[in-house]
Chain A
Amino acid sequence: MDNTVKRLLERLVRRIPSRMLKTTLDKWSRLTATQRQSIDYTESKWALTEKLLAICEVFGCSLTVLVSPWFHTDVIENPNLGMWHAFQLMDPQDDAHSVELTQFKEQFKSHLSELIRHVSIKIKKHTDEAVWIRIAWGDTFSRPNHLKPTYVVHYLQTPYVFLSSLTSKQKPLLSQALVLSTRYQAIKDANLSGRKLTAIRDLLMKQYLQVFPTKFPSPLAERNRVVSNLHIEKEQAGSAANRHQMACEAFGDGLLPQLQSAVYKLETKFRDHTNKTMTERDEPFRCVVKFASTNLLESLRHSASSGVASTPVTPLLSSVPLKGKNYFVITDNGPGPSSQK
């Protein structure tokens, strides 16, 4: 068994949290029951790895076999490693809506293998209808590198694709393969990225609780409401409820998808009459504003409902959930953000 396999095995074992080791190894069908029982989970990870290596040496373990079940636990169970970027497929052809899994799998594998000779592709469908693709890239001279794979997640019949760990060299190859196998005509950057796959997926697929104007907007007031201060209640209750409603309409209710940042790249002219040197310049004033938080949408909603951000919520902020983007380029033409990318 060569070094790459050894290193891969070590790395994979290291990535899995100790408490999940038993469940992961149980899922690996290569190990027989006796072998599984012989593994002592109270040992350190290093000792465990040595044990596994010994088992694999005896029974022979090719790279592909090693990779297949591990990638499930490696990434599907821990989808929050690294940054995920969303892409959007454009201009569907007539049969885009009836692409089914086997067809997609075959097409994707054949197209990508045509474009690059040494590549290892594994496609798996998860229970929530997500198609997971793991790609290990090699080139004309070297074998596929399993230590730095690219992951692709796609839901058939939707125009969105989520990518993780893709270099700029690999991007055009992957885009081509995706476009051809999904029967669309182009792919573009959706300007949405985040650490949590579920968050950016929920945002684009609109799977969080949105609030819309209805005939009876406010719920019935509870009978025995406990108010801390009657005077504050009398003055502030109405406007607080109004702000809360507008904040929820802009961002949503309940648990919001966890985005980590929003970036606004400004390319507008400088406007401050007290500073002549800046305003006299012809070229636009380049500036980047970045909002960062553990849960950005939650913070924005709270700032709107508490009055820190003025309501009605400015389109600059409400565009994040509305357009499903967290990267905006703002120019002088037209009101509000006009993303060019």
Chain B
Amino acid sequence: MVCERKQCASGDRTGTTALSRVTFTGQHCGYPEVGGVVTQQPPKSKTCKRSGCLHRIKYVQKNKEKDSGNMEGAPAKGVLSHLSLLEVKARSRKTQLQQQSRVMELKAKVEALKTQREQLKAQIQTHQDLQKLRLAMDKQCADEEEENMEEESENSKLLRLMARHTQLKDLLHAHHLIGGYDIIKTRKGKGACVSIATAYEDVFLDTFNLEIDLKPTVKISRHNIPPFIPLNNLAEQNNMQTDLRVFLDTLSKHLNAFAGRKQQLKLVKEKHKSVEVMESNVLCSLLVLLFTVPREKTAVLCTLDYTDHTRCLPTRVHLESEDKQLPDSPQWKKNCTLLMETPVHKALITMKKMGSIA
């Protein structure tokens, strides 16, 4: 018989002897046991014999009323023991139920895990099919073959679309890595955010951003492009509504050229302190420099016009000097061509080496 006390899993030891008038009930660790084993006399050992269990076994007299004649104690005792019997029965029923529901739970979990496994298997399969299709598509693009236009099932059409989607995403990522612009979706497909990176001579410079509303019409909602870049004009001229890519390409050209010119001006100021910058503007489309010719100490004023705002090189170079002959001299004519064809900070290095300027 197992002790009903919750934590104790020990069996109790009671001895039974022949019934007599006086009976004793063994109460293992204070709790009545099921059934109520009776003994004739209290056994000699009072502790539970099971190894490791230190519970004392209490032996109480069961049929006390025969000796004492105490009428009130008897029904109370009987009721209490009856109540304890019922309690024990209820507890055993609960654990049985618990055990049952636990089994159901585990069965349900097994089912869920099985369906998850099926889903994952299907995903792996789709992924493998997609990769095969992508390989075929990439090869097709490289070979420039005509696409197979035979009847396709819904599944394979969907697969083809998904493959194309991943292809475009990879293309966009590659474009971003080489310094082009990057686009992401915002507001659940209703908008997009374009970030245009600028770079000059292998150095990344500022990044400009545009937030565009796609529905109902294509419209710029927010941007951090400086006001001297004619954004609205470019949007109109390049028909942003229908051809977003052309607009973004043109804008990227403008911004990159501006960043390049700005960087050139910064380098001229830093590296060529002997050359004085007389005039410049925020768009960096005009530069007026003052050169000093060594030895003669004559001053030469050089005006660089960058009228094409998509280029980093000037469209016009104009030289003026107190010495009227100087701009027409062959050396300075060469310098003029040099300034038209090389970025100004590099041209100045060459001109210094040649001895044209101090």
**In the complex, are the beta carbons of B228 and A158 less than 8 A apart?**
yes
Give the complex CA separation of A98 and B226 in angstroms.
Answer: 17
* Residue of B230, B281, B283 contacting most chain A CB atoms (<10 Å): B281
**In the complex, are the beta carbons of B184 and A215 less than 8 A apart?**
yes
Give the complex CA separation of A41 and B209 in angstroms.
Answer: 52
**In the complex, are the beta carbons of B279 and A213 less than 8 A apart?**
no
Specify which chain B residues have a CB less than 8 angstroms from the CB of A159 in the assembled complex: 227
Give the complex CA separation of A207 and B211 in angstroms.
Answer: 17
Digitize B249-291: 1 where CB-to-A-CB distance is under 8 Å, 0 elsewhere.
0000000000000000000000000000001111101100000
Known: A98-B307, A322-B222. A129 touches B282 (CB 8 A): yes
Specify which chain B residues have a CB less than 8 angstroms from the CB of A158 in the assembled complex: 226-228, 282
Q: Smallest Cβ distance from A90 to chain B, in angstroms?
A: 12
Q: Smallest Cβ distance from B353 to chain A, in angstroms?
A: 30
Closest B-chain residue to A92, C-beta based? B230
**In the complex, are the beta carbons of A212 and B224 less than 8 A apart?**
yes
**In the complex, are the beta carbons of B279 and A100 less than 8 A apart?**
yes
**Which residues 113-168 of A sit at the B interface, judged by CB distance below 8 A?**
125, 129, 155-160
Known: A158-B227, A206-B225. A212 touches B211 (CB 8 A): yes
Q: Smallest Cβ distance from B164 to chain A, in angstroms?
A: 21
**In the complex, are the beta carbons of A160 and B195 less than 8 A apart?**
no
B123 at interface (Cβ–Cβ under 8 A)?
no
Closest A-chain residue to B307, C-beta based? A98
In terms of DSSP, what is the predominant structure of the interface of chain A? loop
**In the complex, are the beta carbons of B281 and A100 less than 8 A apart?**
yes
A13 at interface (Cβ–Cβ under 8 A)?
no
**In the complex, are the beta carbons of A157 and B285 less than 8 A apart?**
yes
**In the complex, are the beta carbons of B193 and A212 less than 8 A apart?**
yes
A214 at interface (Cβ–Cβ under 8 A)?
yes
Closest A-chain residue to B230, C-beta based? A97
- Option from B195, B225, B281 in Cβ contact (under 8 Å) with A214: B195
Known: A158-B227, A159-B227. A214 touches B193 (CB 8 A): yes
**Which residues 212-234 of B sit at the A interface, judged by CB distance below 8 A?**
222-228, 230
**In the complex, are the beta carbons of A205 and B227 less than 8 A apart?**
yes
Specify which chain A residues have a CB less than 8 angstroms from the CB of B223 in the assembled complex: 206
Specify which chain B residues have a CB less than 8 angstroms from the CB of A174 in the assembled complex: none
Give the complex CA separation of A156 and B228 in angstroms.
Answer: 9
Known: A212-B193, A213-B186. A101 touches B209 (CB 8 A): no
Known: A213-B184, A214-B184, A214-B195. A156 touches B227 (CB 8 A): no
**Which residues 127-171 of B sit at the A interface, judged by CB distance below 8 A?**
none
Specify which chain A residues have a CB less than 8 angstroms from the CB of B286 in the assembled complex: 100
Give the complex CA separation of A155 and B282 in angstroms.
Answer: 7
Q: Smallest Cβ distance from A54 to chain B, in angstroms?
A: 37
Closest A-chain residue to B193, C-beta based? A213
Specify which chain A residues have a CB less than 8 angstroms from the CB of B285 in the assembled complex: 97-98, 157
Specify which chain B residues have a CB less than 8 angstroms from the CB of A204 in the assembled complex: 227
A210 at interface (Cβ–Cβ under 8 A)?
yes
Digitize B58-70: 1 where CB-to-A-CB distance is under 8 Å, 0 elsewhere.
0000000000000
**In the complex, are the beta carbons of A206 and B281 less than 8 A apart?**
no
**In the complex, are the beta carbons of B281 and A157 less than 8 A apart?**
yes
**In the complex, are the beta carbons of B280 and A206 less than 8 A apart?**
no
Closest A-chain residue to B286, C-beta based? A100
**Which residues 230-287 of A sit at the B interface, judged by CB distance below 8 A?**
none
Give the complex CA separation of A156 and B186 in angstroms.
Answer: 35
Q: Smallest Cβ distance from B187 to chain A, in angstroms?
A: 9
Specify which chain A residues have a CB less than 8 angstroms from the CB of B307 in the assembled complex: 98
Specify which chain B residues have a CB less than 8 angstroms from the CB of A213 in the assembled complex: 184, 186, 193, 211
Specify which chain B residues have a CB less than 8 angstroms from the CB of A206 in the assembled complex: 223-227
Give the complex CA separation of A58 and B227 in angstroms.
Answer: 50
Q: Smallest Cβ distance from B304 to chain A, in angstroms?
A: 12
Specify which chain B residues have a CB less than 8 angstroms from the CB of A215 in the assembled complex: 182, 184
Give the complex CA separation of A32 and B321 in angstroms.
Answer: 32
Give the complex CA separation of A158 and B281 in angstroms.
Answer: 10
Specify which chain B residues have a CB less than 8 angstroms from the CB of A101 in the assembled complex: 279, 281
Closest B-chain residue to A322, C-beta based? B222
**In the complex, are the beta carbons of A212 and B209 less than 8 A apart?**
yes
**In the complex, are the beta carbons of B195 and A212 less than 8 A apart?**
yes
Specify which chain A residues have a CB less than 8 angstroms from the CB of B281 in the assembled complex: 100-101, 129, 155-157
Closest B-chain residue to A207, C-beta based? B226
**Which residues 228-253 of B sit at the A interface, judged by CB distance below 8 A?**
228, 230
Q: Smallest Cβ distance from B279 to chain A, in angstroms?
A: 6
Specify which chain A residues have a CB less than 8 angstroms from the CB of B226 in the assembled complex: 158, 205-207
Known: A98-B307, A212-B211, A213-B184. A157 touches B283 (CB 8 A): yes
Q: Smallest Cβ distance from B125 to chain A, in angstroms?
A: 29
Give the complex CA separation of A252 and B280 in angstroms.
Answer: 29
**In the complex, are the beta carbons of B227 and A160 less than 8 A apart?**
yes
Specify which chain B residues have a CB less than 8 angstroms from the CB of A207 in the assembled complex: 226
Digitize A190-217: 1 where CB-to-B-CB distance is under 8 Å, 0 elsewhere.
0000000000000011110010111100
**In the complex, are the beta carbons of A156 and B282 less than 8 A apart?**
yes
Give the complex CA separation of A222 and B4 in angstroms.
Answer: 54
**In the complex, are the beta carbons of A157 and B228 less than 8 A apart?**
yes
A-B CB contact pairs (8 Å), 5 listed: A129-B282, A157-B228, A206-B225, A212-B211, A213-B193
Smallest CB-CB A-B distances: 9 pairs? A212-B209, A210-B224, A157-B228, A157-B283, A213-B193, A129-B282, A158-B227, A213-B186, A206-B224
Known contacts A97-B283, A100-B286, then 7 further A-B pairs from the complex at CB < 8 Å, ordered by chain A residue: A98-B285, A100-B279, A100-B281, A129-B281, A159-B227, A206-B223, A212-B224
